[in-house]
């Protein structure tokens, strides 16, 4: 038990999938897992543990932004002995050819905050995903014939910015934008664990397409299934 997670240690699996929205965690758990148990509801940040194809897995909401996922992922790694976390979330596309509903596997996260320096003593704006977990996702995607884009994600601290987003992305060679992977990757390095981030494109700065919250909750299942099928291969 931690200040933010009420689950017993044995109720959290060694592999965790983390959507930002706790209601999305609920839907994923109820759709895909058997023997599902709600193991945390502190601050309504729902976490569920169950079985997927013989593998124990926890689906845990992370909230929005680096501070929120930073707290939950650190406590899971440090106090619950979680070994692997895959963030599963949404992102905006900065580039032509990366379209709404495409799947993006984050190879590196670009952050603008001091989170990594303060939390993990990492003095860099770019932090890599866990190489083994990233490669395992790619191998699973090939097996399932799922096309993934990969590269650098902008892990932004703000949703509304005064600077032109596309100019900022071009200047820093960024493909997509989300808000959590930078902190997750930093915590994984600090605790010597593995982290990855799978994203489904929810909107495009190029085409101006936008999905609704309901569409994001119900239509991102290719990404979810890819993450779950990767989980089955992960050694505890």
pLDDT tens digits for range 25-41 = 999 999 999 999 999 99
Q: Report the alpha-carbon distance of residue 163 to residue 180 in Å, rounded.
A: 20
| Structure-token pair, residue 55 | 């593998």
User: Which sequence positions are flagged as catalytic?
Assistant: 203
* pLDDT score of 232 more than 80: yes
Write out pLDDT tens, residues 76-119: 999 999 999 999 999 999 999 999 999 999 999 999 999 999 99
What mean pLDDT do residues 50-61 have? 98
How big, in percent rounded to 5, are the helix, strand and coil portions of the chain?
A: 35, 30, 35
Q: Report the alpha-carbon distance of residue 170 to residue 182 in Å, rounded.
A: 19
- 196: which residues sit within 8 A by CB, 6+ positions away? 84, 85, 86, 87, 105, 106, 129, 130, 133, 134, 137
Contacts by residues 141-147 (CB-CB < 8 Å, ≥ 24 positions apart): 141/103, 141/105, 141/226, 143/229, 144/225, 144/226, 144/229, 146/103, 146/222, 146/226, 147/102, 147/103
Query: Which DSSP string corresponds to 39-62?
Result: EE-GGG--EEEEEETTEEEEEE--
Q: Rounded to an integer, what is the distance from CA 131 to the centroid of its chain?
A: 15
E strands along 126-193, which residues?
126-128, 148-155, 176-178
CATH number of 9-233: 3.40.50.1580
* pLDDT score of 218 more than 70: no
pLDDT on residue 100: 94
pLDDT interval class at 217 (50, 70, 90): low
Whole-angstrom CA distances from 214 to 93, 173, 202 are: 19, 31, 11
Mean pLDDT of the chain: 95
What mean pLDDT do residues 196-208 have? 95
- Cβ-based neighbour number of residue 139 at 10 Å: 12
Query: Of 120, 96, 76, 231, nearest to 169 (Cα)?
Result: 96
pLDDT interval class at 212 (50, 70, 90): confident
The one-character DSSP state at 113 is S
Q: Report the alpha-carbon distance of residue 121 to residue 112 in Å, rounded.
A: 15
């Amino acid at each position: 038990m931690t200040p933010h997670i009420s689950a017993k240690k044995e109720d959290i699996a060694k592999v965790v999938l983390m959507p930002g929205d706790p209601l999305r965690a609920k839907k994923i758990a109820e759709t895909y897992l058997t023997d599902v148990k709600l193991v945390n509801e502190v601050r309504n940040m729902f976490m569920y543990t169950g079985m997927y194809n013989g593998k124990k897995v926890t689906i845990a909401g992370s909230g929005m932004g680096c501070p929120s996922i930073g707290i939950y992922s650190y406590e899971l790694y440090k106090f619950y002995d979680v070994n692997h976390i895959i963030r599963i979330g949404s992102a905006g596309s900065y580039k032509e050819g990366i379209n709404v509903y495409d799947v993006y596997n984050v190879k590196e996260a670009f952050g603008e905050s001091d989170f990594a320096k303060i939390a993990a003593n990492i003095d860099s704006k770019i932090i890599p995903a866990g190489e083994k977990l990233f490669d395992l996702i790619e191998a699973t995607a090939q097996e399932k014939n799922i096309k993934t884009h990969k590269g650098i994600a902008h892990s932004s601290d703000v949703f509304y910015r005064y600077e032109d987003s596309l100019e900022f992305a071009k200047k820093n060679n960024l493909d997509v934008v989300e808000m959590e992977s930078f902190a997750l990757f930093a915590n994984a390095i600090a605790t010597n664990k593995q982290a990855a981030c799978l994203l489904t494109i929810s909107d495009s700065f190029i085409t101006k397409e936008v999905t609704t919250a309901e569409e994001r909750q119900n239509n991102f299942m290719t990404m979810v299934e890819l993450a779950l099928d990767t989980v089955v291969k992960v050694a505890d």
